Amino acid sequence: MILKDGAACLRNLIHLFRPASSSLTSKGVYEGTKAYRTEDGRILLFRPDLNASRMKIGAERMCMPSPSVDQFVDAVKQIALANKRWVPPPGKGTLYIRPLLIGSGPVLGLGPAPEYTFLAYASPVGNYFKEGSAPLNLYIEEEFVRAAPGGAGGVKAMSNYAPVLKALIRAKSRGFSDVLYLDSVNRKNVEEVSSCNIFVVKGNVISTPATNGTILEGITRRSVIEIARDYGYQVEERVIPVDELINADQVFCTGTAVVVAPVGSITYQNKRVEFKTGSRSVYQELYSTLVGIQTGVIEDKKGWTVEV
């Protein structure tokens, strides 16, 4: 009788503590986009179809099924509409939307998860960096790397962001805004910042590291490249040695969260190099045009915005 009851209790305990997910099968890719309020009260999204396509690419790399482009865009529209009252007034911030695709299941082995969940949530946000619109101070990291060839650095996977925290926390404790990472093979070519892409300006030429599998194809990056070419700048996507970066006229970062942010200085091997910033800087011209389109101030002739 005791053995029978004991067996029953054991079965109940096994059922009770059956894992909902596994560290070996759990995985996730995610996106970041924003909803903008216009001066006349409309709510606009910015190129959500590109976020959808990027999630599909990331999901395929991580062996995950993914929502269709239409399903993704519809989800973003719904979360923006449901949180319409939380979209800040023009110039006061945006509604940041986080679409998320995660795998889970009670499996301990290494392999694709048995089930997947696609969801989206949102929060009103202001400036990403505590400096606000002030120039950023970056630190070039030489010990840690963000991604390696053949890995998943080119997709927006959860696994790409946790590893940068150690270097980021250390840099911020020293007074820097963020960390700029070098390539993992030679440790001498610029890749990207923890959460954004980087651009280098020299004369009329704007250069940015090519997205070769270790660098995320940012949607803001892509948009800024198009705008810059419209203004007559020569834009190059290529390998950028850190020595070339140090000798640049101007440097700026791009990303959904950071938008277009000027870099005031970069510290490399204990040497601080400062760059031109201010109202006549290239970044300001690109920032004004990009934000103007996103917020409806400038006519969207490219079909980038979607009204909710």
Structure tokens at 304: 């980038």
Q: What is the 3-state secondary structure (H, E, C) of 78-111?
A: HHHHHCHHHCCCCCCCEEEEEEEEEEECCCCCCC
- For the segment 105-115, the average pLDDT, to the nearest whole number, is 86
Residues with active-site annotation: 156
Structure tokens at 289: 């045009």
Residues in the chain: 308
Mean pLDDT over each residue of the chain, to the nearest integer: 91
Phi-psi domain of 153 (left: phi exceeds 0; alpha: psi -120 through 50; beta: other): alpha
Measured from the Cβ of residue 170, the count of other Cβ atoms closer than 10 Å reads 15
Give pLDDT tens digits for 25-78: 558 999 999 999 999 999 999 999 999 999 999 999 999 999 999 999 999 999
pLDDT value of position 111: 86
Q: What is the bridge-based pairing of β-strands 94-104 and 33-37?
A: antiparallel
**Beta strands per DSSP E along the chain:** 27-30, 33-37, 43-46, 94-104, 115-125, 136-141, 178-182, 190-193, 197-202, 205-209, 234-238, 250-255, 259-268, 271-274, 305-307
Give pLDDT tens digits for 214-233: 999 999 999 999 999 999 99
Query: Where is mean pLDDT largest: 22-31, 158-167, 291-300?
Result: 291-300
Q: Is the CB of residue 237 less than 8 Å from the CB of residue 224?
A: no
Give pLDDT tens digits for 164-181: 999 999 999 999 999 999
**Residue partners of 163: CB distance under 8 A and separation at least 6:** 144, 146
- What dihedral angle (degrees, nearest 10) is formed by the CA atoms of 19, 21, 22, 27? 180
Q: Is the per-residue pLDDT at 141 higher than 50? A: yes
3-class secondary structure, 242: helix
Cα(42)–Cα(308) distance, integer angstroms: 8
Cα(181)–Cα(194) distance, integer angstroms: 8
Confidence of residue 108 (pLDDT cuts 50, 70, 90): confident
- For the segment 253-275, the average pLDDT, to the nearest whole number, is 96
pLDDT value of position 11: 42
